[in-house]
Structure 1
Amino acid sequence: MSDMVARFAKLHQPGRPLILYNIWDAGSAKIVAGAGARAVATGSLSVAGAQGYEDGEALPFDVAVTNAKHITSVVDIPVSIDLETGYGEQSDDVEANARSMKDIGVAGLNIEDQDLNSGGLRDIDEQATRLAAAASTGIFVNARTDLFIQTPLPEHDQALVRLALERGKAFADAGARSLFVPFVRDEQLIATLCEKSELPVNIMMMPDSPEILRLAELGVARISYGPGPWRAAMASFEEQAKRIFQIEL
C-alpha cells in the first residue's frame, strides 16, 4: 500500500469524519487544499461539466486520467477520484483503469453500483467482482450504492438500510474500504448505517442533511459534497456573466 493510500485510509474515522469539499480540476484542488483540507476528491458530474461533457462516463477516460494527473501534481495530500462505474464492462477493464489512476498517484476511487446501460443496479455478486478487481491494485475503494438515489424519498426506510448494509458487506468482503450511501439524510437511517456497517460510512451533504457536527455524532466517517461546490461556483459565474452582458454600450 502506498503512503498516500495508507494516509487516506487513516482519515476515515467514525465520529471525526473526513470532509471532502469536492473539486473538479487542479485549480479547485489547490484552493481546497489551501483552505485546510486533509484530502481532496473529485465529483464525476463536476469534472465532466467543467470539460463540457455530461455525467455518466461521457467524459473520455483519457481526459479523466489527464485531469487526475494534473490534480495529483499540484497537491501534497491524498487525492480521490470519482470513477463512476469503473469505465469498463468487464472487471479486467475496471482493474486496468484503477491501476492507471493509482500509477499517477491517486489514493482512492469511488465506484458505484449503477448499471449505466439498464439504469438499475448491478447484481451484488457482479458488483463485488468489479470492486475486487479495483481493490486488487491496492488503491482505496469507496464503494457507492445508489439504492437511495433510485428509491423515492418517501420509501427511504430501515428496510432500504438493510439492503444497503447487505450490499456493503459484500463490498467489504470484496476489498472495499468504505461505503458511500448518497441521498440518505434521515438521522435514524444514518445512525443505523453507521452502527451496523462493516465499513466506514460516507454520506453526501445535501441542503436538508444534518449538520456536519451532527453527522459526526451519528458516527459518519466521511462527508462529501458531490456536485454542490461546482454548481455553486458555476451559478455565481453565470450570474456575473449575465450581469456584464446586459450592459448596453
Structure 2
Amino acid sequence: MNFRQLHQGPELLKIANVWDAGSAVLVQALGVPAIATTSAGLAWALGYADGNQLPIEEHAAALRRIARVARVPLSADSEAGYSDDPATVADNVMRLADAGAVGINLEDGAGAPALLCRKVDAIKAAAARAGVDLFINARCDVWLRNLAPGRAVEETLLRARDYAAAGADGLFAAGVTAAEDIAALAAGQPLPLNVMARPAMPGLRELQRLGVRRVSAGSAIAEAAWGRAQRAAAGFLGAGACDELFDGAAPYPQVNAALAAAQS
C-alpha cells in the first residue's frame, strides 16, 4: 500500500516521528506501514533550533540518510518550506523529494492562508513536471498559535477548503484535542484529517471513530529521548549514578544488530 492509500484505508495511520537513520530503524522494527520525520527532532539532532532554521541542504542530506535505511514510505516535515517565495519553497520541497520523501508536511504558521495556497500550488506544479506523486499534508496552526480564539473550528475549516482547492492532499490540525472539535473537522472538510498526539487527546480508537485518518507523535518521542538522556547524564555527572545509565536502555548488541541489518 503506497503512502497516499494509507490515508484512505480502514486503519488509522499512526506516525511515530523519527529524526535520524537510527530512530527510523528503531521505529520500522515495530512494524509500521510508514515513517515521517519530526522537524524539531531532526533540527535538534543537527544542532539547529526548530522553526525554519535548518538549511535545506542539511535537511536533504539528513533525509537521504534516513531514506537509505527506510523500507516503508517516508514523509518529511518541511516546516514552512524555508521561504515565503512559493517558487523557492517548491524547489526546496523537490530537493526533499529527490532525497527520498514521498510526502511532506507544509505549515501555514502565522502567515496568511493564501500564501500557503500559493506554495501548495507551486509544489504541485513542480511535482507534476518531475512526474512525482507527492502527498502534501497542509498543517494548519490555528490551535498551536491560538490564532482564532473562540472560532478555531470555523477558521480551520475555511483554511482547509482553500488548501484542498489549491491541491493539498491532507489536513494536519496540529494542537486540536477536544473530541467535538476533531469530529467537526473530520466531517466539515474534504481532506483526510491528521492530528498530533497531546496528553488531553482521546485515545486512538476514539480518534478513528471521530473520523481521524492519521495521528502523529510530532516531536514527543524526540523530546522523550532528550529527557531520558538528560536525566541519565545529569545523574552520572552529578552523583556518579552509573546504574541510571542502564535503566531502561536498549542493549548494545540489540541496537548494533538492528543497524547492521539495515545496511544489508
Q: How many residues align?
A: 235
The Cα offsets for residues 47-71 of structure 1, whole Å up to 9 and x where unpaired, read as 1111221111212111110010011
Distance 1:14 1:82, change over 3 A: same
Say which one has the larger Rg.
Answer: 2
Distance 1:247 1:9, change over 3 A: same
Pairing of 1:17-56 with structure 2 (within 5 A): 17-56=12-51
Aligned partners of 1:124, 1:207: CA distance in 2, in Å?
28
Aligned partners of 2:188, 2:11: CA distance in 1, in Å?
17
Aligned partners of 1:123, 1:236: CA distance in 2, in Å?
38
Aligned partners of 1:60, 1:126: CA distance in 2, in Å?
21
The Cα offsets for residues 4-60 of structure 1, whole Å up to 9 and x where unpaired, read as xx8100001376221001110111001101111111111111111112211112121
Matched, 1:123 2:112: yes
Does the 8 A contact of 1:108 with 1:142 survive in 2? yes
Does the 8 A contact of 2:61 with 2:99 survive in 1? no
Equivalent in the alignment of 1:3? none
Aligned partners of 2:27, 2:124: CA distance in 1, in Å?
27
Cα distance, 1:84 vs structure 2? 0.4
Aligned counterpart for 2:201 among listed residues 181, 202, 209: 209
Unaligned runs of 5+ in 1: 1-5, 115-119
Aligned counterpart for 1:181 among listed residues 173, 186, 202: 173
Pairing of 1:51-62 with structure 2 (within 5 A): 51-62=46-57
Does the 8 A contact of 1:85 with 1:112 survive in 2? yes
Distance 1:73 1:181, change over 3 A: same
SS at structure 1 position matched to 2:42: helix
TM-score (norm 2): 0.85
**Segment of structure 1 superposing worse, 176-185 or 50-59:** 50-59
State the one-letter code of the partner of 2:60: V
State the one-letter code of the partner of 1:172: A
Distance 1:93 1:152, change over 3 A: closer
Cα distance, 1:233 vs structure 2? 0.7
Pairing of 1:69-84 with structure 2 (within 5 A): 69-84=64-79
Aligned partners of 2:8, 2:20: CA distance in 1, in Å?
26
Question: Which runs of at least 4 in structure 1 moved beyond 3 Å after TM superposition?
Answer: none
Aligned partners of 2:57, 2:186: CA distance in 1, in Å?
36
Equivalent in the alignment of 2:154? 162
Q: How well do the aligned residues superpose, as a CA RMSD in angstroms?
A: 1.8
Aligned partners of 1:105, 1:149: CA distance in 2, in Å?
28
SS at structure 1 position matched to 2:104: strand
Aligned partners of 1:216, 1:140: CA distance in 2, in Å?
21
Cα distance, 1:152 vs structure 2? 7.7
SS at structure 2 position matched to 1:148: coil
**Segment of structure 1 superposing worse, 96-105 or 74-83:** 96-105
Aligned partners of 1:110, 1:35: CA distance in 2, in Å?
23
Pairing of 1:62-101 with structure 2 (within 5 A): 62-101=57-96
**Segment of structure 1 superposing worse, 19-28 or 48-57:** 48-57
Aligned partners of 1:152, 1:62: CA distance in 2, in Å?
32
SS at structure 1 position matched to 2:212: coil
State the one-letter code of the partner of 2:235: R
Equivalent in the alignment of 1:235? 227
SS at structure 1 position matched to 2:144: helix
Give the number of the structure with larger relative contact order, counting CA–CA contacts within 8 Å between residues 6 or more apart.
1
Cα distance, 1:97 vs structure 2? 1.1
Cα distance, 1:124 vs structure 2? 2.4
Pairing of 1:128-167 with structure 2 (within 5 A): 128-136=117-125, 137=127, 138-151=133-146, 155=149, 157=150, 159-167=151-159
Equivalent in the alignment of 2:260? none
Equivalent in the alignment of 2:246? none
